[in-house]
A and B are shown apart, each in its own frame.
Chain A
């Protein structure tokens, strides 16, 4: 009982810190500190310093800045412009035509960047004007973009999977490979929905204005092909066991620099901007991870997570029920917090409970990311909604409405990977791990 009170006190305090505008990483550190002072005799200050040092000076974590940097370099090339010209000729035959550029474009960009906001922004910037110029349905254009933007979280290299892997101590390489099939599943679901929609509303897809022969199509996508090759190489080198996640990331940086050098887009300004951008993003995430590492140690002292696990056990929920409850919980949490904070709080507090329920932590990582993807497109704090609001000038509620079918498709995807967990776990089981 006393423990429940303590836990309640810490939760209220955390909400107070967060809602009051204290930075997320500092809120985590502060709660860790308060918890440790109140519920243990350990010297809080020195435990904070040693824990944070131990978790920050980590070789595993180095995959993070490198993948962020790779994305920042490619982001500053003309990749997004090439994306439309390169993809459009291949997709005009499908019902829904160029609407699919949004989905495939986001999937490809997701494989380079790992950030869902950046994905929606980049693809949206080049696709929205082209689609509206041709008279495509505006709601569907924005909806596909909002939905597919979330692919950035799942398709490797994914920043949020690195965050999960580091804080839950699950192999990042295996998580990346586990994300491949669920990512493709989402692409198929999204494209299937667009095709179905186009067939049901035949008047709403404008006629095709691009007719190119095979060679012309290849020529139009000539600058896209090296990028695709780089992605396949980076993910493949992890899958075939040639490289660890960190090494693959270093390849990625070298490859991205080489690509932008060859295409004449690398100069001192773009190099410096990409490097500083990567430094900021990676610092922001590393700081949150440091705070979460300290909070986890405190949680160990307070015995809140283990007690919570015991308590949940007494209900004898089936794993399905537990996942249903957790999904609801995450969607609500995701309405107020960003994905990275949701993931680190999850791993510090409820992971023992998940383990006690016999759920595979590798699979759970993919599940959490899928649920976090949902929260990217739900108001009031769906980051993708904000990005698209800035991009299209439409009201955020309208955008949320256009994204609703895609939200439901994400729910369907969660149901599918719960019913068929092999979609996530098969590839990692056959990969050559290094």
Chain B
């Protein structure tokens, strides 16, 4: 089970990285294409869709790496037991919120599918396809939050705790 879940987060993170690369490739292709008078159709739309896919698919992976920021000023000063209660409440609240959000993201996908919503631009693709990335990313994040909640209840240290006290992003810690 553990391996399966970890694999899921990693897979989603890797897909996110692929979409990030896709943005760079699309934009560069567009620039090079302009030089040779070749139009890369709908490059802007596809770059935008890749952006959304990358952002959402990376959610759980970033969460576990301690990449999402939170205010630790207060909770770090609390005694161990009280801090655990805050940790659990945050995880539970986050899980409920993201599960609700994921559910509505799925509904959005179903709506777009039912009404045949198409994207703008030269190549019109059904909107439900890129919207799946958002729904999938949110579902994986909801799973990660529940997973983390269970781990903390069992008395484990949260996986995100390793990095959260170090500043903003992973950029700031070249030693890892």
Contacts and interface: CB of A to CB of B under 8 A. Distances in A.
B48 A253 contact: no
B47 A62 contact: yes
Contacts of B13: 276, 279
Q: Secondary structure at chain A's binding surface: helix, strand, loop or mixed?
A: helix
24 contacts: A20-B89, A21-B74, A21-B90, A23-B69, A23-B90, A24-B71, A33-B100, A45-B100, A45-B101, A56-B56, A62-B27, A65-B20, A69-B24, A115-B168, A117-B167, A247-B27, A247-B31, A275-B20, A279-B20, A280-B67, A283-B62, A338-B168, A386-B166, A387-B167
A50 B71 contact: no
Interface of A: 17-26, 29-30, 33, 45-46, 48-50, 52-53, 56-59, 61-62, 65-66, 68-69, 71-72, 75-76, 113, 115, 117-118, 121-122, 125, 243, 246-247, 249-251, 253-254, 275-284, 286-288, 290, 336-338, 340-341, 380-381, 383, 386-387, 390
Interface string B4-35: 00000000010011001101100110110000
A279 B16 contact: yes
A288 B68 CA distance: 9
A49 B167 contact: no
A223 B72 CA distance: 40
A65 B23 CA distance: 9
Q: Secondary structure at chain B's binding surface: helix, strand, loop or mixed?
A: helix
Contact of A254 (B28, B68, B90, B166): B28
A246 B70 contact: no
Interface string B57-91: 01101110101111111110000000000110110
Nearest to A116: B168
A45 B107 CA distance: 10
B171 A117 contact: yes
A278 B23 CA distance: 13
Interface size class on chain B is 35 or more
Contacts of A281: 67, 168-171
A24 B68 contact: yes
Given A21-B70, A23-B70, 10 more contacts: A19-B71, A22-B70, A26-B94, A46-B108, A49-B107, A243-B31, A250-B27, A281-B170, A282-B54, A383-B167
A253 to B, nearest CB: 5
A75 B94 CA distance: 33
B174 A75 contact: yes
A280 B170 contact: yes
A118 B172 contact: yes
B97 A33 contact: yes
B93 interface: yes
Contacts of A30: 93, 97
Nearest to B131: A53
B113 interface: no
Given A22-B94, A57-B52, A280 B73 contact: no
Question: What 9 A-B pairs are tightest by C-beta distance, nearest first?
Answer: A286-B55, A283-B58, A281-B169, A250-B27, A45-B104, A57-B52, A117-B172, A280-B67, A49-B104
A118 B24 CA distance: 23
